[in-house]
Structure 1
Amino acid sequence: MDGIKKFFKDQAHILNQEAWNVAHEIGEHPELGYQEYFAVDVLTQFLIRHDFKVERPVAGLETAFIARFQGKKPGPRIAFLAEYDALPGVGHGCGHNLIGAASAGAGIVLSKSEELMGEIWVIGTPAEETSGAKVTLVEKGIFDTVDAAMMFHPGSQNVSEITTLALDALEFTFLGRSAHAAAAVQYGVNALDAMINFFNRINTLKKQISADARINGIITEGGTAPNIIPEKAVARFYLRARSRMTLDELREKVIRCAKEAASMVSAQVTWRKFEFSYDDMLTNRTMAESFAQNLRELGIKKIASPQIAMGSVDMGNVSRVVPAIHPYLALGKGMDVPHTRDFAEAVVSPSGEHLLLLAIESLALTGWDVLNDPKLLQKIKREFNQKN
């Protein structure tokens, strides 16, 4: 490890206790998406103490922020993305308290160099667990002047390069005509019958799609009483696939199933997106290789090969407008399952503290590579332009 990277590693150790206090406080005060006022206060105060200039709110989102630090010399602009929302009934079962503190900590560590070229942004991104505010930030142009974006996520293993599934969240509403279910059945149009037919068609469709595609749905409304023919039935679905193109094709097949199911009982059907759509994560391999090399320099030898995460992240949308990485780092022994109370307990334990330091170090060193090596940044951008 060269001298400047040794300096950043030392700075990470100096900052470690303060960063852990931030992560622990957020972990002990879980807040749902768009309600993360405590977390934003803690993170922005942390950044302000280290001379970052904070703008909040951003893009019309009250719990979004941008913290900026300008180096003494001109250069690229990199962004570390902070998450900090929790899961309903679980708390920080996805470790977003660590993500927010790690991104802020990495930005602060880099800011300590007198040789810093360019600008560091720490972007606070709310509501990843629910509606995905990164989609809004992308649409509002927040990333238009950013050269590279990165964050980390706690998980079961060290993985520098991941892909995720594209996601569409669809709500289908079937409309029929109510009638007495015994005395006037001939006058009714049963919306629930259409819905059940729809689910049967979806079950048939599932047998015809690729193994890495997903169709998961629930009925949220199916009638009011057994003796009234339901005039309205509503269902919500998550559709996932390896690529946006494949998902678009799958969505059209699902919509066709809904229309055919409605027509069988003379019902009507409409559909809408009830949450933002996520694109599949397009990891910048060049930047991911830099991250992996920094992990090795930090003594991490066990790094898994590229992985397909069978979930979806709003970082996928970011990766379509700026070169981006979303690596995973192992929490403890990698035995805790995300989205559980056990995971929420682990991220505020000594295992969480140990992981936070590694995340700050590896993100900061990768950020330095991007800022300090024009040839690397050129290669990162060339790869990005070829894939988009």
Structure 2
Amino acid sequence: MSLNALQLTLENNLEQHSATYLKVSQVIFQNPETGNNEYFASEQLTQLLTAQGFAVTRNVAGHETAFYAVKSSDKPGPTIAFLAEYDALIGIGHACGHNLIGTTSVAAAITLAQVLDQTGGRVVVLGTPAEEGGLAGPGGPKGNVKKRFVEAGLLKDVDVALMVHPAGKTRLTESTLANNHLYFHFYGKPSHAASAPHEGINALDALVLLYNGISVLRQQLPDGVRVHGIITNGGQAPNVIPEYASAHYYIRADSREVVESLEPRLRAIAEGVALATGARVEIDHQIGPRDFKLNSALDALLLEEFTAAGETVDLSPQKNKVSTDAGDISHAVPTAHPWLKIGPDDLIFHTVPFREAANSERGYQALIIGARVLARTGLRLLTDADALNHVKADFARQL
């Protein structure tokens, strides 16, 4: 069967099932679940895959809401993986559009699987919860789940991994920031704030000094480094000297090495303010995502498919950077993480306007466009050995 005939099979199948995909994305949007709590979303996506003949394994990589789905042909060939994310943000719902991401990847996988008998190979979906990181839920530990997929060997036989993320502009894969989390816990001594403040040790005072100390440190940090955090507990009542106070900080930089080199400086500030106030400090550490290893050969294929789909791709220099645990996947196998327009150019992640765009007509049109682009890119990799070899060579050069 010719490439054109295979592409037509993809197009027809995607059109046939598009209403189902939109309905699933909408119902996931209407039932937002934070990281490690995505039982409903995981079930919706795995039901789609099971109905289309995928073998689905749930509760993988130490996370109850994670899954691994595979459909194989009887012929040898490459393995193409699609990365599905489906967690929502705390307090603001699907303001990063993961209701679109998860369904787009599942739709692309199902679509591509229709031609496996002709192309050979395998199609895999990695259901990766808790991309937003942060607090643990009942379904598993804190974030950076994709790193645990790598450690569990679930990328072992994968040749290429693909996903697409909603955004204000359609762009190719971009550099991202490595990221670690620090959780600071200060312990003092409670006392009446009016009658006996001298008998207390104020944990909040220590935390305020930490906050200010880190703020002062920022002027001495290298370009491209981001350190930001929130106070997660500042005491319980104004008439009680706070016995406990806590904060959660991110350290972001262009590489894991830079992030880890900065962490001792924040720890030193925390230990210093504890000494100054008489409080005791405990520091929890969470390894976040790695930076993203770009693959120009893979992005070249995606550019062709975006263009074929009628998308205008913004090729201007990158201005801003975020963090994603897809970076960990990109250090294991060639990976693409392009961006697809769902709203105005100035759309900002993690805002109410972004949440509205993720549930808009334009957003759901982007879901189908994204599935088409991913499936057709996967088809190219299954059928064009030279293209796949170029992608692998680009990856190998960066090891």
How does the TM-score come out when normalised to structure 1? 0.90
What amino acid does structure 2 have at the position aligned with 1:380?
V
Partner of 2:66: 64
CA distance in 1: counterparts of 2:198 and 2:42, whole angstroms: 58
Q: Deviations over 1:207-236 (max 9, x none)?
A: 111342211123333445666654543222
Question: Contact 1:294–1:366 (CA<8 Å) still a contact in 2?
Answer: yes
Q: Per-residue deviation at 1:386? A: 2.7
Q: Does 1:139 align with 2:139?
A: no
Change (3 A) 1:266 1:349: closer
* Alignment partners' CA distance in 2, 1:26 and 1:88: 15
Alignment map for 1:155-234 (pairs within 5 Å):
155-177=167-189, 189-223=201-235, 229-234=241-246
- Structure 1 segment 40-79 matched on structure 2, within 5 A: 40-79=42-81
Residue equivalent to 2:123: 120
Change (3 A) 1:217 1:117: same
The worse-fitting range, judged by mean Cα deviation, of 82-91 and 290-299 is 82-91
AA aligned to 2:150 is V
Contact 1:78 1:119 in 2 (8 A): yes
Cα gap change, 1:183/1:25 in structure 2, threshold over 3 Å: closer, same or farther? closer
- Corresponding residue for 2:136? none
Give the deviation of 1:299 after TM superposition.
2.4
Q: Following the alignment from structure 2 to structure 1, what is the Cα–Cα distance between the partners of residues 176 and 343?
A: 23
Give the equivalent residue in structure 2 for 1:28. Answer: 30
CA distance in 2, matches of 1:185, 1:21: 59
In structure 2, what is the Cα distance between the partners aligned to 1:310 and 1:79? 24
Q: Give 1:241-320 correspondences, 5 Å limit.
A: 241-273=253-285, 275-305=286-316, 307=318, 309-320=320-331
Whether the aligned pair in 2 keeps the contact of 1:283 and 1:326 (CA below 8 Å) is no
CA distance in 1, matches of 2:314, 2:239: 60
1-side partners of 2:271 and 2:19: how far apart? 58
Cα distance change on mapping 1:87 and 1:227 into 2, 3 Å: closer
Q: 1:224 to 1:3 in 2, by over 3 A?
A: closer
Q: Contact 1:163/1:308 (CA < 8 Å) preserved in 2?
A: no
Structure 1 position 309, deviation (Å): 4.5
Task: Tell whether the 8 Å contact from 1:72 to 1:116 is kept in structure 2 after alignment.
Answer: no
Deviations 1:39-66 (A, max 9, x none): 2222222222222221222223221112
Bigger shift: 35-44 or 76-85? Answer: 35-44
Distance 1:186 1:327, change over 3 A: same
Q: Report if the CA contact (8 A) 1:110-1:116 is conserved.
A: no
Specify the SS of the correspondent of 1:329: strand
- Matched residue pairs, number? 387
1:111 partnered with 2:123: no
Instruction: Compare 190-199 and 248-257 and name the one that shifted more.
Output: 190-199
Q: Hey, what does 1:237 align to over in structure 2? A: 249
* Cα deviations by residue, 1:111-164 (Å, 9 ceiling, x for unpaired): 111322211001111122232422332232221221111111100011112111
The CA distance in 1 between the partners of 2:343 and 2:239, in whole Å, is: 55
Q: Secondary structure at the match of 2:289?
A: coil
Query: CA, structure 1 residues 239+73, in 2 after alignment: closer, same or farther (shift >3 Å)?
Result: same
Once the two structures are superposed, residues 9-57 of structure 1 have per-residue CA deviations (whole angstroms, 9 ceiling, x without a partner) of 3332233222222222222222222222222222222222222221222
Q: Please, what TM-score do these two structures have when normalized by structure 2?
A: 0.88
Deviation of 1:304 after TM superposition, in Å, equals: 2.7
Report whether the alignment pairs 1:342 with 2:353: yes
Q: CA RMSD in A?
A: 2.5
Gaps of 5+ in 2: 134-142
1:380 Cα deviation from its structure 2 partner: 2.0
CA separation in 2, counterparts of 1:303 and 1:6?
27
| Cα offsets for 1:283-319 (capped at 9, x unmatched) | 3222112111111122223333453643211111221
In structure 2, relative to structure 1, the CA distance for the partners of 1:183 and 1:90 (3 Å cut) is closer
Cα offset for 1:344?
A: 2.8
- 1:182-216 Cα distance to aligned partner (Å, 9 max, x none): 77766655444433332222121111113422111
The answer (yes or no) to whether the contact 1:68–1:122 under 8 Å persists in 2 is yes
What is the alpha-carbon distance in structure 2 between the residues aligned to residue 308 and residue 377 of structure 1?
30
Out of 310, 333, 336, which is 1:322 matched to?
A: 333
In the alignment, structure 1 residue 13 sits paired with structure 2 residue 25 = no
The answer as to whether partners of 2:170 and 2:312 remain within 8 angstroms in 1 is: no
Q: 1:197 to 1:338 in 2, by over 3 A?
A: closer
